[in-house]
Amino acid sequence: MVAAAGINVTKVETSKLKEMTLENLPFGRYFTDHMLEADYEDGEWKNIEIKPYQPLLMEPSTAALHYGQAIFEGIKAYKNEAGEAFIFRPFDNFRRFNISAERMCMPTVPEEIFIEGMRMLIELDKSWIPSLPDHSLYIRPFMFSSDPVVGVKPSETYKFMIILSPTGPYYAAPMKIYVEEKYTRAAPGGVGFSKNAGNYGASMLPTALAKKQGYDQVLWTDAFEHKYLQEVGTMNVFFIIGNTAVTPSLEDGTILAGVTRDSVIVMLNEMGLHVEERKITIDELMDTYKAGQLREVFGTGTAAVISMIKELRYKDYTMHFDTDTATVAVEVKARLTAIRDGRAADTHGWMYKI
Ligand SMILES: *Cc1c(COP(=O)(O)O)cnc(C)c1O
Q: How far is the CA of 151 from the centre of ligand 1 (A)?
A: 31
**Model pLDDT for residues 315-335, shown as the tens digit of each residue:** 999 999 999 999 999 999 999
Q: How far is the CA of 258 from the centre of ligand 1 (A)?
A: 5
pTM of the model: 0.96
Q: How far is the CA of 298 from the centre of ligand 1 (A)?
A: 14
Give the residue, by CA position, lying nearest to ligand 1 atom 13: 234
Gap between the Cα atoms of 338 and 81, Å rounded: 12
Gap between the Cα atoms of 273 and 249, Å rounded: 17
pLDDT of residue 133: 83
pLDDT of residue 19: 85
pLDDT of residue 240: 98
Question: Can you give the residue ranges of every domain in the chain?
Answer: 8-171, 175-340
Gap between the Cα atoms of 188 and 171, Å rounded: 33
Q: How far is the CA of 289 from the centre of ligand 1 (A)?
A: 26
Choose which residue among 229, 247, 256 to substitute to test ligand 1 binding: the one with the highest number of ligand atoms within 8 A of its C-beta. Answer: 256
Q: How far is the CA of 40 from the centre of ligand 1 (A)?
A: 26
**Residue 110 CA neighbour count, 13 Å, CB half:** 13
pLDDT of residue 3: 52
Q: What is the DSSP letter of 228?
A: B
Rounded to whole angstroms, the maximal C-alpha distance in the chain is 65
Q: Is 258 in the pocket of ligand 1 (CB under 6 A)?
A: yes
**Which ligand 1 atom sits closest to the C-alpha of 231?**
11
Gap between the Cα atoms of 178 and 232, Å rounded: 9
* 175-340 shares the fold of 8-171: no
Residues 219, 222, 225, 227, CA torsion sign: negative
Q: Is 237 in the pocket of ligand 1 (CB under 6 A)?
A: no
Give the residue, by CA position, lying nearest to ligand 1 atom 14: 234
* Residue 325 Cα to chain centre, angstroms: 27
Q: Is 229 in the pocket of ligand 1 (CB under 6 A)?
A: no
Q: How far is the CA of 236 from the centre of ligand 1 (A)?
A: 7
| Coil, strand or helix at 121 | helix
Write down how long the chain is. 354
| Coil, strand or helix at 245 | strand
Cα separation values, 133 from 151, 199, 231, 299, 307, Å: 49, 32, 28, 21, 18
Q: How far is the CA of 81 from the centre of ligand 1 (A)?
A: 28
Q: Is 233 in the pocket of ligand 1 (CB under 6 A)?
A: no
**Which one of 3.40.50.720, 3.10.20.30, 3.10.20.600, 3.20.10.10 gives the CATH number of domain 175-340?**
3.20.10.10
**Model pLDDT for residues 278-309, shown as the tens digit of each residue:** 999 999 999 999 999 999 999 999 988 999 99
Cα separation values, 233 from 98, 173, 185, 256, Å: 23, 14, 9, 11
Beta bridge partners of 44: 41
Q: Is 107 in the pocket of ligand 1 (CB under 6 A)?
A: no
Q: Is 235 in the pocket of ligand 1 (CB under 6 A)?
A: yes
**Positions of the chain with pLDDT lower than 70, given as ranges:** 1-5
Return the closest-CA partner of residue 275 out of 235, 322, 224, 332. 332
Q: What is the DSSP letter of 276?
A: E
Choose which residue among 235, 238, 262, 265 to substitute to test ligand 1 binding: the one with the highest number of ligand atoms within 8 A of its C-beta. Answer: 235
Do the strands 85-88 and 44-52 form a parallel or antiparallel pair, or are they unpaired?
unpaired
Gap between the Cα atoms of 235 and 247, Å rounded: 12
Gap between the Cα atoms of 273 and 275, Å rounded: 6
- The dotted CATH code for 8-171 is 3.30.470.10
Cα angle 140, 146, 149; round to 5? 155
Q: Is 256 in the pocket of ligand 1 (CB under 6 A)?
A: yes
